[in-house]
Amino acid sequence: MTDALFGQFPTMEPGCVWLVGAGPGDPGLLTLLAASAIRTADVIVHDALVNAACLELARDDAVLEYAGKRGGKPSAKQRGISLRLVELAREGKKVLRLKGGDPFVFGRGGEEALTLIEHNVPFRIVPGITAGIGGLAYAGIPVTHRDVNHSVTFLTGHDSSGIVPDRIDWDSVAKGSPVIVMYMAMRHIATITDRLIKAGREPDEPVAVVCNATTDQQQVLETTLENAEQDLVVAGLSPPAVVVVGGVVPMRRTLDWLQRGGEQ
């Protein structure tokens, strides 16, 4: 990648905010536009899930501001983060809001964009590879396979208050989606698996939990709906994680390219 290549991309302007997805972890999964933004920004407001290696692309004089949010731990309030972006933009900075995964997939990018609109701050959205797709691919699990599923449901395991979302129609999800991909679900895995089983999913249906996806700390647990809670405790795994339920999970036995000699 040369400066000539990066020179073809849109440029960050003072007083503008870019909401950018950094992908699921591996810095190689940054888009070229995301890498260009990191190289250009005056201030980078980043999440906990952004790999530190991605931030090494920043200018030496760039300011890095941590705005991570982790369930159950003290963290910045979303409204405060959004207003901080406004403040930095009004100071004439080139502002990069860098998020793990994709800013519009359970990343609260929409909330931040609405705040920027409210305060007349110009912005650009740069999508990133979401963990529910890229993270599973690194575990050798395809989100779709024509012999298994023609639909997939993505959902979050907790809402803004930290509990299992009541607005999810669990019965419909259980009955209508052959493959279910869940973000932020480990904390309430017992409740979620119980609801899915009560809604008709088989207790022995395959489940995979992918922690720290696409990084050198990646761990994968294969289990079942009825055993997921206990097996997670025994394995001692902790978030961040993506949970997938369905018939694509056993395909990992063949498609786990990292274990077959692939390089990360």
- CATH number, domain containing residue 211: 3.30.950.10
Neighbour tally for 78: CB within 10 Å:
15
Query: How sure is the predictor about 163, in pLDDT bands with cuts at 50, 70 and 90?
Result: confident
- Identify whether the C-beta of residue 143 lies closer than 8 Å to the C-beta of residue 152: yes
- Identify whether the C-beta of residue 182 lies closer than 8 Å to the C-beta of residue 213: no
State the pLDDT at residue 210.
98
Average pLDDT score over residue span 167-193: 95
Q: Residue 140 — φ and ψ, nearest 5°?
A: 80, 25
Domain-terminating residue out of 95, 129, 163: 129
- 119 and 225 share one domain: no
- 100 and 190 share one domain: no
Domain-terminating residue out of 129, 154, 189: 129
pLDDT tens-digit map of 99-140: 999 999 999 999 999 999 999 999 999 999 999 999 999 999
How far is it, in rounded angstroms, from Cα 72 to Cα 187? Answer: 9
User: Which residue numbers are catalytic?
Assistant: 47, 69, 184
Q: 175: domain range?
A: 132-255
Domain-terminating residue out of 108, 129, 150: 129
Give me the residue label for tokens 């009825």.
226
- 139 and 249 share one domain: yes
Q: Does residue 55 lie within any of the structural domains?
A: yes
Query: How sure is the predictor about 68, in pLDDT bands with cuts at 50, 70 and 90?
Result: confident
- 61 and 84 share one domain: yes
- 230 and 216 share one domain: yes
- Identify whether the C-beta of residue 45 lies closer than 8 Å to the C-beta of residue 98: yes
Structurally, how many domains does the chain consist of? Answer: 2
- 159 and 122 share one domain: no
State the pLDDT at residue 264.
47
Assess whether pLDDT exceeds 70 at residue 146. yes
pLDDT tens-digit map of 19-66: 999 999 999 999 999 999 999 999 999 999 999 999 999 999 999 999
Assess whether pLDDT exceeds 70 at residue 262. no
Q: Does residue 231 lie within any of the structural domains?
A: yes
